[in-house]
Amino acid sequence: MNEEEIKQKKLEELKEKYLKQQEEARKQDEVESKMQMLLNKILEEDAKARINNVRLVNPQLYSKAFRVLMTMAQKGYLQQGKLNDAQMKEILMELKEEKEIRIRRM
């Protein structure tokens, strides 16, 4: 293989990698869009703003809260209407307390 063929092969590999990344990003955007639509159905605006803020600071807590909300919706616990900010805050606090383990230095 000469130098030009090596460069061409490397360029093709980079193009493939770029296309895969673009496809993954598109799929992730699609999933996030669906998640936001579901949240719109079950949360009031202030509660939705809170969980979106959590998503930025603590993605694991966001994912856990989203799963809990979807389970609640599927089991019919949210039939009384949309959750408000106080209810969302309570759910997040409960989920956060489950995870918190503090180690103190002696």
DSSP state string for 66-100: HHHHHHHHHTTTTTT--B-HHHHHHHHHHHHHHH-
Assessment of whether the complete model's pTM goes beyond 0.85: no
- Residue 9, amino acid: K
Q: What topology does CATH give the domain 3-99?
A: Helicase, Ruva Protein; domain 3 (1.10.8)
* Boundaries of every domain in the chain: 3-99
Place of tokens 């408000």: 84
Q: Summarize pLDDT for 45-95 with one digit per residue, the tens.
A: 999 999 999 999 999 999 999 999 999 888 888 777 789 999 999 999 988
The type of residue at 92 is L
